[in-house]
Amino acid sequence: MSNAEHPPYLWHNHQLVRWEDATAHLTDHWWASVGAVFEGIRGYWNGTDAETYVFRLDAHLERLASSMRLVRMDDSFPPDVIQAAVCALIRANAYAGDVYIMPLAYSTGGRSFGSVGERVTNVFITSRPTTSALGEEHSLRAGFSSWRRIDESSMPPRVKAVANYRNSQLAASEAVLAGHDTALMLNAQGKVTEGPGSCVFFVRGGTLFTPDLSSGILESITRDSVLRIARELLGLRVEERTVDRTEAYLADEAFYCGTAAEITPIAAIDHHELRAGVPGPVTRQLGDLYHGLVRGTDSRFPEWRVPVGLAGQQLQSAQAVTHVPW
């Protein structure tokens, strides 16, 4: 990120810090990234309200707390502290537009494989303007990777750990080199799991289905949101279960979902074109509803949106980036 693109502030260990002052010694990070955990969170601008609404902030921070607990970090940064920090950071950076927020927790001190008590927990939060792709006509062509998704016998797939994403990078790189846009991954049993950084849904014969949590997927907040929208607002038949590879080929529709992916239609899987078009009718309905809910133009599920308190504040319009790596 160049000097022209970076925000004025980030948040580090209980205080707002100017970007140029946010430094740490190289040796502090020699081993820190191995155990780091993080969240990718979006804030959506509502021009009518002159406000940014952070989508499902409570759920994201509960998952971050679970991830920190699983990698044995201490509880010195509880969810209420991080929530206040996220809102304060967005106000300080005063974006008049959509924003991507990433809290990351890491440990310093001790030896590479030192005992838990030797390490100190740290948290920083960054933000950047990032335009939503919801409402745009775009899709991805996917291919199944030869790299298998991590499972409970090796790494904890249900939490957002930095180390887990090396598995995702391998799959994504392989897919692009093979001529696809991105990847889908199977687990050790040969069942469908997810994409490199997003969950996946399929539609066939009017039924919406997705791999269940025991398939080795992230406990995705966007996935949970899609399930609730499909059941409660659209009245769709929804299944969470194991999914075979050939079911993906025979699907009428498919889409990725996640904080970065939002709802992204899939056009083809291993060169099998999906039959309902891109986006298919169910994907389009879900995407339209999701867009209204995250931005606050649809008033339902008000508990999903946290206003950060920008109304009445002098704001800056920053040039947005569209690529979100996580």
More confident residue, 84 or 324: 84
Tokens of 270: 């291993």
Greater confidence, 191 or 27?
191
pLDDT at 112: 63
Q: How many Å apart are CA 216 and CA 232, to the nearest integer?
A: 26
The amino acid sitting at 86 is V
The residue-averaged pLDDT of 101-106 equals 96
What's the pLDDT band for 227 if we cut at 50, 70, 90? very high
Annotate 280-301 with b (16+ C-beta within 10 A) or e (fewer).
Answer: bebbbbbbebbbebbbbebeeb
Q: What is the average pLDDT value for the chain, to the nearest integer?
A: 91
Buried-state track 150-184, b at ≥16 Cβ within 10 A, e below 16: bbeeeebbbbbbbebbebbebbbebbeeeebbbbb
User: String of b and e for 22-41 (b: at least 16 CB within 10 Å)?
Assistant: eeeeeeeeebbeebbbbbbb
Q: What's the pLDDT tens digit per position in 314-323? A: 665 544 433 3
* Mean predicted confidence (pLDDT) in 105-129: 82
DSSP characters over 213-237? GGGT----HHHHHHHHIIIIIS--E
Range of weakest confidence among 25-39, 140-154, 204-218: 25-39
Give me the pLDDT at residue 116, please. 64
pTM of the prediction?
0.92
In the chain the domains, ranked by start, together with CATH numbers, are 9-134+301-307 (3.30.470.10), 140-278 (3.20.10.10)
Q: What is the pLDDT of residue 321?
A: 38
Which of 12, 119, 160, 291 is an active site residue?
160
Query: Among all chains, which residue has been given the structure tokens 């409660």?
Result: 232
Q: Tell me, yes or no, if 160 is annotated catalytic.
A: yes
CA distances from 44 to 5, 67, 226 (A): 19, 25, 17
The pLDDT of 20-37, averaged and rounded, is 81
Gap between the Cα atoms of 117 and 137, Å rounded: 51
Residue 166 parent element (H or E): helix 165-177
